Amino acid sequence: MSNTMLFRSSMFITILHILAQLWYRQTNLILTLTIIGGLSTSIWNHGTTSRIAMISDRVMMVIDFCADAYLILIIPLQFKCVLATAMLISSVVLYWVSKMPYASQFHINSFWLCAPIRQIRGSNIPHMIAHLSLTMTHIILMSIFAT
């Protein structure tokens, strides 16, 4: 398994998406299809060491971002739209932060003291928060399209 923590995070957000879909029964078809594609490739990518899975997941991220941005743009401006935009942007920023070499130089408990603990490649915490942020974006969009 490639990354147990991110695999568990992908499974957790899949459960959250399913629960939200059950709560908001009527939603947008584009949103539903991109969620299914994104969750599938995320679980596949984080559950294996396959380069094809990694590339597929990144391609799906771009497709999902474009779909989410499109859906946000066609919604009449309201507070939920602004919130969805902020969550979408924060998920992208957090994902890129998780890929930067310095993201892992600080232990989570020592972050505020800026005390370097160890040097490892990448950090799971910003990536998992990006998963949650994108999930919140999707739940907000589901709530908008359900009304």
pLDDT in tens, the chain (147 residues): 578 899 999 999 999 999 999 999 888 999 999 999 999 999 999 999 999 999 999 999 999 999 999 999 999 989 999 999 999 999 999 998 887 765 444 444 444 444 343 334 457 889 999 999 999 999 999 999 997
Alpha-helix runs per DSSP H in the chain: 4-23, 29-46, 51-74, 79-99, 124-146
Domain locations along the chain? 4-146
Neighbours of 75 (CB within 10 A): 17
DSSP-derived letter for residue 101 is G
Amino acid at 10: S
Question: Residue 105 corresponds to which tokens in the numbers above?
Answer: 């130089």
Length of the chain: 147
| 29-50 pLDDT tens trace | 999 999 999 999 999 999 999 9
Distance CA 28, CA 117 (A): 45
Residue 98 CA from chain centroid, whole number: 12
CA distances from 116 to 82, 94, 97 (A): 36, 20, 17
Q: Look at residues 132, 91, 2 and name the one whose alpha carbon lies nearest to residue 54.
A: 2
Whole-model pTM?
Answer: 0.82
Asked whether the beta carbons of 85 and 72 are under 8 A apart, the reply is yes
Write down the mean pLDDT value for the chain: 85
Q: Which position has the token pair 């991110």?
A: 6
